[in-house]
């Protein structure tokens, strides 16, 4: 993410409806998650899938750049294992909250992540819109996209202005609405009555909040994943500034850019590549860290300073869910819990063992939670 200032404060905790990834099944449905113990062969196959997905993501990025780029990539849903298929589907693995933590979360065969009774016609919408965080791009969701699409979900991952392969100078972004325009343009073009599930990561939380205020009737649910979940009148900078614990690692990693001259306010924030792993990817596979190190772009400064204007009738009418990342060094768990206390969502899930980038460090468990949230009636 970007700015992380802090001062001492004490926040009283209200009792909240908190659900670990282990207990999500009991809370949301009658399904029973069963543990899948991978053999050496399974691990080899998982590694191969990981490499294929990574190669596909890089090839896609190169293809887009060669063809002038695009603000979003949107793949139509293709149900690879339709109803009536003879291919036997296995139950979801038990969440990371009940198994030994490893440094990586193997990317299992997508059909292994679904229960036999998943029926997309039973959910309000099967369309996920994934919104990246500051400095990231649509590329960071490549594992999540693959897993959701294999289950028949439709997935749109947007590149916000000046992010990913969006061809705009980050230093020239002067407002949150300009930064979020690819997302709001997409929602604006949805047919009347069509709804999506918004998933925001990091600064993407503020971005989906902005979109929820503008298009509440087009958002079925909003999922904040290690994300800035702000109150009205609050900026992302305000959110970071309220916390007691200073984040020295974030301060060390920040490199302020002054495209308008050193006498003017910063125009963007870059992150020290040598500190990326410790700050954002401390539980993530080395290959994903390598992908991020060559793909991340500066974070526009003005949108981080902008205070959100959120109303109960619009933003407040959308169902919100929060996925906590307890091993997060960028938005520490204490700060996540403070945001949850100030603006309680419908449910809170804890993705145990996840760093700031759960789409890399815990892709299968994140996927399971997204499907579980989609199914909540």
Active site residue 127: no
Active site residue 202: yes
Task: Name the active-site residue from 127, 201, 210, 356.
Answer: 356
d(CA 328, CA 168): 30
3-state SS, residue 41: helix
| Dihedral over Cα of 165, 169, 170, 173: its sign | negative
**Which residues, other chains included, contact 150 with Cβ-Cβ below 8 Å and sequence gap of 6+?**
80, 81, 110, 111
3-state SS, residue 199: strand
Task: Name the active-site residue from 202, 288, 327, 355.
Answer: 202
**Which H/E stretch holds residue 223?**
strand 219-227
First vs last Cα of the chain: how many Å apart?
A: 32
Active site residue 327: no
d(CA 277, CA 336): 20
Backbone angles phi, psi at 72, to 5 degrees: -155, 150
For residue 83, with 0-12 CB atoms within 10 Å meaning exposed, 13-18 middle and 19 or more buried, which class applies? exposed
Structure tokens at 82: 């339709």
Q: Does residue 341 contact residue 13 with C-beta atoms inside 8 Å? A: yes
Which residues are part of the catalytic machinery?
202, 328, 356
């Amino acid at each position: 993410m970007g700015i992380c200032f802090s001062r001492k404060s004490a926040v009283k905790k209200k009792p909240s409806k908190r659900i670990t990834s282990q207990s999500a099944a009991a809370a949301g449905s009658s399904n029973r998650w069963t543990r899948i113990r991978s053999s050496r062969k399974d691990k080899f196959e998982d590694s191969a899938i990981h490499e294929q997905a990574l190669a596909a993501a890089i090839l896609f990025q190169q293809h887009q750049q060669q063809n002038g780029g695009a603000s979003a990539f949107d793949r139509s849903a293709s149900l690879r294992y339709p109803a009536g298929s003879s291919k036997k589907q296995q139950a979801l693995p038990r969440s990371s909250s009940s198994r030994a933590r490893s440094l990586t979360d193997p990317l299992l065969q997508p059909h292994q992540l679904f229960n036999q009774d998943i029926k997309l016609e039973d959910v309000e919408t099967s369309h996920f819109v994934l919104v990246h965080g500051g400095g990231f791009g649509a590329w960071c969701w490549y594992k999540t996209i693959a897993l959701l699409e294999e289950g028949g979900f439709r997935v749109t991952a947007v590149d916000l202005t000046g992010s990913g392969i969006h061809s705009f100078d980050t230093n020239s972004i002067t407002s949150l609405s300009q930064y979020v325009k690819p997302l709001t343009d997409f929602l604006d073009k949805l047919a009347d009555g069509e709804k999506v599930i918004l998933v925001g990561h990091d600064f993407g939380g503020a971005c989906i909040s902005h979109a929820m205020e503008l298009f509440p009737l087009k958002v079925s649910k909003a999922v904040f994943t290690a994300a800035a979940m702000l109150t009205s009148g609050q900026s992302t900078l305000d959110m970071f500034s309220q916390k007691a614990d200073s984040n020295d690692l974030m301060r060390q990693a920040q490199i302020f850019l002054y495209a308008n001259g050193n006498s003017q306010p910063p125009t963007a924030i870059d992150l020290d590549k040598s500190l990326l792993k410790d700050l954002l990817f401390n539980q993530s596979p080395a290959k994903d860290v390598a992908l991020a190190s060559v793909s991340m772009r500066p974070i526009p400064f003005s949108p981080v300073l902008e205070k959100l204007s959120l109303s109960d009738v619009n933003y407040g009418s959308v169902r919100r869910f929060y996925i906590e990342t307890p091993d997060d060094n960028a938005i520490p768990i204490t700060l996540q819990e403070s945001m949850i206390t100030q603006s309680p969502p419908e449910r809170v899930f804890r993705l145990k063992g996840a760093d700031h980038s759960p789409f890399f460090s815990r892709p299968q468990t994140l996927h399971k939670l997204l499907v579980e949230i989609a199914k909540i009636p």
